[in-house]
Amino acid sequence: MLKEIVITIQSWGEAHRFILQHRLWKWVLIPGLIYTALFVTGMYFFGRSATEVIEYITHILHVSDWIQKFQNSFLGFLFTFAGIILWLTLLLFYFSFFKYICLIIGSPIFAYISRKTESIIKSNESAPGWSDIKKEVSRGMSVAIRNCGWQTVYLIALILLSLIPVIGWITPLIALFMECYYYGFSMLDYSLARNDHSPSQSVHFIGRHKGLAIGNGILFYMMHLIIIFAPAYAIIAATLTVHKVKAP
């Protein structure tokens, strides 16, 4: 897995050079601006709702009453820290749904960028055909919906686990790696679809090469420091990764 993550990191560097060489900045900025607008809006509403959710859970579990009853500073620390862990897990839960909304809305652009990247790699001068792109858009949406269902089940289990002091402290890390995996999965699938992989074959391939998906997702979220570049870099890097690995 570590070797595959290294391959993905190298692909992100290659994606930057690829964009510069072929002047693809227009296709970087279009999805980047859309994603940034959705991200800022979503974070605003998350900031307002997450605290209310935690306060509601604290109220129904009578956490404050427990702390006052035992008057134990260590117990208070455990519940406070558990609240922070729950907040982080809810943040990743939000990211999960936000990500799938962006993947569905942006699927036409992602499909076009991925196909355009591959046509440049193969020195194909003709523009990507919209009939093929429509198929990839439909495939991208169905994969996003499938992954959303599975990830939601896992995240609900992690949210419940995060309520347990000490044991639940590891849940944000698990949720983060899961989030990275499923985002990278969607980015890689566009290229796998063009390599005649059915959805089940794509699931099998990425399941055997989890590092490629996790690495792409990790770098995507690191790119939130320069958020406008994140979506296009992720799809171009994923296309270069699949081309490099040469999926069977």
Question: CA-CA distance, 127 to 142, in Å (whole number)?
Answer: 25
In this predicted structure, the answer to whether residue 170 has a pLDDT above a threshold of 90 is no
Question: CA-CA distance, 117 to 89, in Å (whole number)?
Answer: 35
Helix (H), strand (E), coil (C) string for 176-191: HHHHHHHHHHHHHHHH
* Dihedral over alpha carbons 114, 132, 33, 28 (to 10 degrees): 30
Question: CA-CA distance, 186 to 175, in Å (whole number)?
Answer: 17
Question: Binning pLDDT at 50, 70 and 90, where does residue 168 land?
Answer: confident
pLDDT attached to residue 61 = 61
Q: Quick check: is 50 in a domain?
A: no
Residue 26 neighbours by CB distance under 10 Å: 8
Question: CA-CA distance, 141 to 146, in Å (whole number)?
Answer: 9
123-138 burial code (b ≥16 CB/10 A, e <16) = eeeeebeeeebeebbe
User: How many domains does the chain fold into?
Assistant: 1
92 within 8 A of 152, measured Cβ to Cβ: no
Q: Quick check: is 82 in a domain?
A: no
pLDDT attached to residue 52 = 73
pLDDT attached to residue 247 = 46
Least reliable range by pLDDT among 45-59, 60-74, 135-149, 221-235? 60-74
The CA-atom distances, in angstroms, between 209 and each of 8, 156, 166, 204 are 11, 25, 31, 9
Range(s) of the domain holding residue 8: 2-38+95-245
Q: Quick check: is 72 in a domain?
A: no
Q: Quick check: is 83 in a domain?
A: no
Helices (runs of H) and strands (runs of E) counted in the chain: 10, 0
When comparing pLDDT for 205 and 59, which is higher?
Answer: 205
Exposed, middle or buried, 69 (CB in 10 Å: 0-12/13-18/19+)? Answer: exposed
Q: Quick check: is 84 in a domain?
A: no
178-201 burial code (b ≥16 CB/10 A, e <16) = bbbbbbbbbbbbbbbbbeebeeee
Q: Quick check: is 55 in a domain?
A: no
Q: Quick check: is 56 in a domain?
A: no
For 17-39, the pLDDT digits (tens) are 999 999 999 889 988 998 888 88
Q: Quick check: is 163 in a domain?
A: yes
For 36-88, the pLDDT digits (tens) are 888 888 777 777 776 777 677 666 766 566 656 666 666 667 777 777 777 77
Q: Indicate the pTM of the whole model.
A: 0.80
